[in-house]
Structure 1
């Protein structure tokens, strides 16, 4: 059990900086509980920085997500929409309401059901290590948002903690920090809300509901092995604390093995508690406020009506304002509906609402939510829709609460494989850099204040942000070190330029520093004059004129293993010393500085990384890759491609055509958002990969493959075609047909 701090001490221990804006208990009756990184191999890049030939787009998009603590005060103040916290997006739920998470009712594949985007409908929330992906519960599993944290998540708590009509999301990290988020203004990003210590341990369960009747969900916590109940609430705009005036009342103490469910069974606006004991009895406790306490009074206990194979869930089955009890046999799929009313040995059955087309498959689990559009028909605004998870094929069968014209019933909506982003992603890996700043003996000025260079590494659109996002949360450079000291190199700018190589010029700064470089990926060496910049042997050399996010991401990319640049097939030369087509994939960071970048306070930033180079570092898991191998007869497949910067989208991130590792083609979808917000427009791109080098194809109407176009490519043995049908208005996907 975790210790509980007094409220004053709890407040002092919290981490965060966002200022959001009758009678005694009944006596127990019979049946009631009795008691209350290594550096890359040396190589080098011979070119000086190349001036971009492309215009920079304006800074039109703000960062997608915060990473833990605010840091700067202004960042904290902007963490949620104006108006005092999540309530700025308050919606009327038309009678349907979100249900908070229950740790006893785990959805397979690390899924949670919650209204994460404030549209009044239940969404899928899926976690994988330090990653969170949200998508709609429609057939297409339309992508909503993603979030990467610097530490793995152990648990997810969802509920309407702020009383706004939709769910907020809190996660418990492996360091036992509780990090909470609200939906952003555009409803496509989670914004950091606050961070505090977790108030529940790994050996405890929780069930979330509005037990105090204030319109905000509370968290009821209890030891899995049995013990005292505790309750936590968010009474202000941030930070959970022990619920004022909570007493367990007739709940007594939690019993090991007992099932716990919550619902508003008497339609009074407060969630009650139902316990299912080992004998299969349901014990109903009413949530009340009495004698200045939020507590629970025992109401009644049924006979043994829950069998060992029964899954107990709570949902609104008929068209009223109170919750009902559902028993589904996990083995046979038989489902029964009951009202929470005393009727002797069993609860009274709901007989006027048939199960209809609700899946009756065995080996399955049942979950509930608000998923279909409000149509105005009877029951539409208050009844819950059903999601049956069929374990044999890891798919959901959704059935919506509908009206047949004569009675309330359930109609089949779809059968679809469950979201599968729960596994396969690479583990978090620390990638710390050492950032050094050095002066020439004949140049005394410092180009920028120290904070600018800290932001170059740690800030929004900085180095750590770039690699964290573009590795899908795998590479963490936030543990880098930026030295504020300007070290004197004892050499003039001219003498420095005359040194034999870039390796030596970077080494002059490292020698001036004189400290250890052990434990770092490598060094970034900034000097206060011009003359040379780039990468040699993994050492990055930077000057005032090359101090921007795009340049730094490109040069550190070499150290990480991208020693080759990206190319196109045009044969153009970016400079006299560059190869034909080199630096002409404007959509890939390894063509910097000849890329589609955008403007930030750190100068140029972006773009992202193309599919061949994302795959080279194993950033894209196997379940998000598709390989199409040609055969003796032509084939074609139609699919939705997920945008590279939007892994929450449904569909492959990587499509490869061809079985030859040294010579094949890839198809990818890029959207004008995130690190790609500087690209001209959403587009499909086709690359050829030859001996590990990425070549953007511009022939046959390219490089941008836009809706309504079909492009053909001769591989030397067969034709490949890419037809683009359209780009989704929401969900971040491109509809394409690939012939091979």
Structure 2
């Protein structure tokens, strides 16, 4: 396959120059429920223009615009409805005391903070639990810093905004194994070279939307990292002692179809953070810009996914024979063999010792004590006996019980202290996930 013109694209904003470094292990953890953002619009003291209205940004970046093809629609689709942007606020335009020239030569985090400080001086303090996106009214810089997002008029499109906001959820970049590819001089070899994944920034397949260039889907590893793949649709080959499997993959873009969404293939018996993945992608929806339906293979190294290519400038590999692993592809049917068996690999949301997934549903990857998981299972089993018809619908709780609300739609009735515990475990969960070695 000839290199796509996209592979020669050299316009990436989201990372500051860095030479001679390796990828940083990602820090994402399962993300569910409402994830509100404070979107702050700031203009320079010598640039009074307001190129767009607050309504535009509300539609573009929050749940107010559901159905218009903005970031909220993208995140709802990718998460399978597991997150929302409910509770977000769009405020401004605020006039800063700094001129456009005074934003040259300063750190991105300082640029973001100047807008946050301007909003605070005008009476708005970012609430605890809100992520932050700052909008500037003139071109100066765009990207993310410390999980906070900065967008200028050159980047008011879904592809760019979704990428940077996903940094806010803890995702790092995607890569390929093509060490000859350099997106820009300061990027690392292979960085931004998975055009099927939104975390390759502007170097992705895309279609136009109401808000400019659209986002492409996330690869299976990143969906797994965020806890957006049901556990019963993920297979670790060899974990049950069977080293060869022929499986049917379902497209990540059509998860209602039968089949696996992700296959993990361990190849290092001593390191569970190293394995291959198999996923299937379909040319539809957010991924309508990809060349065609295809299986993609990735190698996961220390929490970073690398797309496997056929060679420098080549297309995605459709077979594999390395590290005791063999993979052959026939359409959506994949035959996999691994020499590593009886070695469970739990993926990026592996709990630290002493904790297990709560398992209140198939995508509940919050790490809790074994006792709490047992309680969640017991409450699930008892749920029908605790429901009565009432003002809150068919799942109104009988007296003395409340909805657990561990995630959106969790109407299992529990005693009040277990709802409080679910909220506390949700908050503590990120600190209970095992991090790959740096």
TM range (shorter): 0.5 to 0.7
Which residue of 589, 606, 622 corresponds with 2:231? 622
Q: What CA distance in whole angstroms lies between the structure 1 residues aligned with 2:109 and 2:222?
A: 25
Question: Contact 2:196–2:217 (CA<8 Å) still a contact in 1?
Answer: yes
Q: What CA distance in whole angstroms lies between the structure 1 residues aligned with 2:321 and 2:141?
A: 40
Report how many residues are paired.
302
Question: In the alignment, does 2:33 pair up with 1:436?
Answer: no
Question: Contact 1:606–1:678 (CA<8 Å) still a contact in 2?
Answer: no
Q: What CA distance in whole angstroms lies between the structure 1 residues aligned with 2:174 and 2:96?
A: 35
The unaligned stretches of length 5 or more in structure 1 are: 1-43, 49-425, 727-733
Note the aligned Cα RMSD (angstroms). 2.4
Question: Contact 1:713–1:721 (CA<8 Å) still a contact in 2?
Answer: yes
Larger CA Rg, structure 1 vs 2: 1
Q: What CA distance in whole angstroms lies between the structure 1 residues aligned with 2:47 and 2:165?
A: 26
Which residue of 79, 95, 98 corresponds with 1:471? 79
Alpha-carbon distance, 1:448 to partner:
2.2
Alpha-carbon distance, 1:479 to partner:
2.7
- Write the mapping of 1:169-568 to structure 2, written as runs, cut at 5 A: 428-457=32-61, 458=63, 459=65, 460-483=68-91, 485-499=92-106, 501-514=107-120, 515-562=124-171, 564-568=172-176
Question: In the alignment, does 2:291 pair up with 1:680?
Answer: yes
Aligned to 2:211: 602
Q: What CA distance in whole angstroms lies between the structure 2 residues aligned with 1:538 and 1:444?
A: 28
Question: Contact 1:588–1:607 (CA<8 Å) still a contact in 2?
Answer: yes
Aligned to 1:656: 264
Compute the TM-score of the two structures, normalised by the length of structure 1: 0.39
Q: What CA distance in whole angstroms lies between the structure 2 residues aligned with 1:466 and 1:552?
A: 11
Q: What CA distance in whole angstroms lies between the structure 1 residues aligned with 2:207 and 2:109?
A: 30
More strand by share: 1
More helix by share: 2
Alpha-carbon distance, 1:45 to partner:
5.5
- Write the mapping of 1:687-706 to structure 2, written as runs, cut at 5 A: 687-699=298-310, 703-704=315-316
Question: Contact 2:238–2:244 (CA<8 Å) still a contact in 1?
Answer: no
* Secondary structure at the counterpart of residue 642 of structure 1: coil
Q: What CA distance in whole angstroms lies between the structure 1 residues aligned with 2:298 and 2:304?
A: 10
Alpha-carbon distance, 1:602 to partner:
0.3
Q: What CA distance in whole angstroms lies between the structure 1 residues aligned with 2:231 and 2:210?
A: 37
Q: What CA distance in whole angstroms lies between the structure 2 residues aligned with 1:505 and 1:591?
A: 24
Deviations 1:217-250 (A, max 9, x none): xxxxxxxxxxxxxxxxxxxxxxxxxxxxxxxxxx
Q: What CA distance in whole angstroms lies between the structure 1 residues aligned with 2:227 and 2:32?
A: 13
Alpha-carbon distance, 1:739 to partner:
3.1
Deviations 1:658-681 (A, max 9, x none): 164211000000111121112111
Alpha-carbon distance, 1:444 to partner:
1.9
Question: Contact 1:688–1:695 (CA<8 Å) still a contact in 2?
Answer: yes
Greater relative contact order structure (CA < 8 Å, 6+ sep): 2
Q: What CA distance in whole angstroms lies between the structure 1 residues aligned with 2:86 and 2:289?
A: 24
Question: Contact 2:142–2:155 (CA<8 Å) still a contact in 1?
Answer: yes
* Secondary structure at the counterpart of residue 506 of structure 1: helix
Deviations 1:445-489 (A, max 9, x none): 222233321221232221221211111111111331122x31001
* Secondary structure at the counterpart of residue 612 of structure 1: helix
Deviations 1:129-179 (A, max 9, x none): xxxxxxxxxxxxxxxxxxxxxxxxxxxxxxxxxxxxxxxxxxxxxxxxxxx
Alpha-carbon distance, 1:620 to partner:
1.2
Alpha-carbon distance, 1:635 to partner:
4.7
Compute the TM-score of the two structures, normalised by the length of structure 2: 0.65
Aligned to 2:334: 736
Q: What CA distance in whole angstroms lies between the structure 2 residues aligned with 1:594 and 1:614?
A: 19
Aligned to 2:412: none
The unaligned stretches of length 5 or more in structure 2 are: 1-12, 18-29, 339-438
Q: What CA distance in whole angstroms lies between the structure 2 residues aligned with 1:535 and 1:713?
A: 38
Question: Contact 1:433–1:480 (CA<8 Å) still a contact in 2?
Answer: yes
* Secondary structure at the counterpart of residue 508 of structure 1: helix
Deviations 1:488-520 (A, max 9, x none): 011111101233x11110111111111111134
The change in CA–CA distance for 1:469 and 1:519 in structure 2 (over 3 A counts) is: farther
* Secondary structure at the counterpart of residue 607 of structure 1: coil
